[in-house]
Amino acid sequence: MSTDVVFISVSNMGCIDLTLNHLESIKRAGMTNYVAYAIDSLCYETLRSKGYTTHLLGRDDMNQYHDFNTPGFDHISFMRYHVIDKLLREGKTVWYLDVDTVVIQDLNAYIAVVKDTFDVALQDDCYMPCTGCMLFFPSALSLVKPMIETRDFSKNDQIYFLKFLNASKLRIGILNRNLFPNGLLYFNEHNPKHADKQLEFKNSDPTKVMFVHANWMIGVQTKIDAFKSKGLWFLS
């Protein structure tokens, strides 16, 4: 494990149970180089009380959960880029993870394998890259600040970020979707458009899965139930 690598999340009290489950999975995977960024003070105090390394972003007006592709969600989502930009400027390798995710294997090992092959890598969401799981090497420093300076809340952060990513000259990687499955693949949500990818994942080796994202579904309880259905809910 390198001290120059940091795994981060950004969340608020509205999704505290997902956050705690996410952080518990990181702990079980043996990863200690993480920081949980708490948007509001109650989330911050809750995570600190559980012993997690936590930084406060100080926005108590943004303490509610919002579903994907809503205005509230988009404002919260943009906060991750301020944190990512700051850490990249400190020379860190930054791996951002949404909190509706579970880490199954130590992701530091994966970084060691792919180091020097790309500048930034994202999860494969079947139809586009996903900003809920993004790995940035310091060579991607130039990418984030222009997005922050011109942010457009009329578009979700994923669409907006990909506009800058595709216009860059950076080496872009897409994480292997059988190792880093999205919710459509892992939880077998019915979607005829991606049946081929679902079949490919179904036939892959489940012991090699490193990370699971409960996206492609709406609502905190829906995500919790999905994790429970696969034995990936670690809170009592």
- CATH number for 5-176: choose from 3.10.290.20, 3.20.20.70, 3.40.50.300, 3.90.550.10: 3.90.550.10
What does the pLDDT look like over 131-162, one tens digit per residue? 999 999 999 999 999 989 988 777 788 888 99
pLDDT in tens, 161-211: 999 999 999 999 999 999 999 999 999 877 788 899 999 999 999 999 999
Domain borders along the chain are 5-176
Q: How do beta strands 93-97 and 129-136 pair?
A: antiparallel
What DSSP line would sit under 19-68, residue for residue? HHHHHHHHHHTT---EEEEESSHHHHHHHHHTT--EEE---GGG-S---T
Average pLDDT over residues 36-58: 98
Rounded to the nearest integer, the mean pLDDT of the chain is 93
